[in-house]
Amino acid sequence: MNRRLDQILYRKESSLLEKLLLFPLFLASLPYEGAVRTRTFLYSSGLIMKARLPLPVISVGNITVGGTGKTPMVMAMAKGLMERGIPTAILSRGYRGKRGSGPVVSDGEKLLLSIEESGDEPFFMAERLSGIPILIGKDRFKNGQIAIERFSIHGFLLDDGFQHLPLHRDLNIVLIDSHIGFGEGHLLPRGILREPLAHLRRADIFVLTKVEDPEASQSLKSMLGKIHPFAPIFYSHYESEGLIRMDGKLEPLHLFKGKKVFALSGIGNPSYFHALLRKIGMEVVGEAVFPDHHRYTPHDLISVKEKVKEEDLMVTTEKDMVKLNWFSFDPVPLFALRIQMRIWDEEEFYKRIVEVFRK
């Protein structure tokens, strides 16, 4: 039922019957919208002051729920800035982490927290990023101060930071899923918007994600131009790099062309994950979809194992893999798809980012 509801909410247009059935959710969205508008006004007017760190802060966020690609973008930017001589630290909320051992997930060299303490995305970033400190916690200003004291950094990347208004940021980057856009434009819980579309005027840069052909995103680009005509728009897409085995070895994609796979995921947009597998040349003949950030239980995985029939292998995401390394799906091998976010017109994108550190 939840998945069916999600499919309706993410559509760009629902039927009259669906609109009638969802009317109670529309009524529920009105007080939510009022609270969001009031909170934004209090910060934008200065009635509530924002904390300011002494180093530049770049926020990467979105205005919708679901997987727009924030984590891959933050990882790509951390690497891109490091390559340009600008070391940064990542400040993350740490979704569903059981904190209690300090805020530092990684000092850039070694992991200091478990996945249970940090949450799946910060742990995944810490495993993949070398030389990038990662800190989690609700008080990102305090964690920024800790990072300045402990690490040699030039600034911060604020993961999922568009709604984190208590902290001043020098640049707001907003990601938008080009396949989904804004749904029907309704706020939670009726739609997928965290904030009214007018709040996109806080953005400095838009990045449309999952773009294979920029021409196919012209209507979305036109809409953004009407809302915020001065913010530049960039495009990004994912490149599949290989499949990771449980032992960490990266296998080339051509080995899996034509293979029958069972897709397992707990992410915001599983359909796009399945599309990436098909693009490689795999045949997705079975699937198990869990909510984003899902913590797998033995019961979950036993039920998944029972669904696997004639598949050659099981494929999950790297974010999910870090939560599955204790379970065996024998005799079907488990792999994770490794992807890399690529930004179209990358040099122009980083030119604008680097300017923030030169001010």
Residues 65 and 107 in one domain: yes
Q: What 3-state class would DSSP assign to 331?
A: coil
**Each residue of 308-329: pLDDT tens digit?**
988 999 999 999 999 998 788 9
- Look at residue 43 and tell me if it is in a domain: no
> In this model, does residue 345 exceed pLDDT 70?
yes
| Residue 26 and residue 190 in contact, taking contact as beta carbons nearer than 8 Å | yes
Q: What is the pTM for the complete model shown?
A: 0.93
Residues 75 and 207 in one domain: yes
Residues 350 and 296 in one domain: no
CATH code of residue 296? 3.40.50
For the chain, give the longest Cα–Cα distance: 61
Nearest one of 280, 347, 340 to 315, comparing CA atoms: 280
Residues 172 and 248 in one domain: no
Domain carrying residue 304: 240-340
- Look at residue 29 and tell me if it is in a domain: no
How many residues does this entry show for the chain?
A: 359
Residue 314 CB contacts under 8 Å (≥ 6 apart), including other chains: 261, 262, 263, 264, 308, 329, 332, 333, 334, 335
Measured between its terminal Cα atoms, the distance across the chain in Å is 51
**Each residue of 187-215: pLDDT tens digit?**
999 999 999 999 999 999 999 999 988 88
Residues 245 and 147 in one domain: no
Task: Give the per-residue pLDDT at 296.
Answer: 94
Residues 204 and 252 in one domain: no
Q: What's the Cα-to-Cα distance from 279 to each of 12, 253, 257, rounded to whole Å?
A: 24, 11, 9
Nearest one of 76, 93, 82, 97 to 135, comparing CA atoms: 93
Question: In Å, how far from its chain's centre is CA 317?
Answer: 13
- Look at residue 38 and tell me if it is in a domain: no
Residues 277 and 189 in one domain: no
Task: Give the per-residue pLDDT at 1.
Answer: 42
Task: Give the per-residue pLDDT at 214.
Answer: 87
Q: What 3-state class would DSSP assign to 166?
A: coil
Residues 67 and 200 in one domain: yes
β pairing state of 171-177 and 334-343: unpaired
Residues 318 and 181 in one domain: no
- Look at residue 89 and tell me if it is in a domain: yes
Confidence band for 154, pLDDT divided at 50, 70 and 90: very high
- Look at residue 10 and tell me if it is in a domain: no
CATH code of residue 109? 3.40.50.300
The number of distinct structural domains making up the chain is 2
Residues 194 and 178 in one domain: yes
- Look at residue 101 and tell me if it is in a domain: yes
Residues 130 and 198 in one domain: yes
Phi, psi of 251 (to 5 degrees): -100, 140
- Look at residue 143 and tell me if it is in a domain: yes
> In this model, does residue 273 exceed pLDDT 50?
yes
Residues 100 and 181 in one domain: yes
**Each residue of 45-66: pLDDT tens digit?**
999 999 999 999 999 999 999 7
- Look at residue 7 and tell me if it is in a domain: no
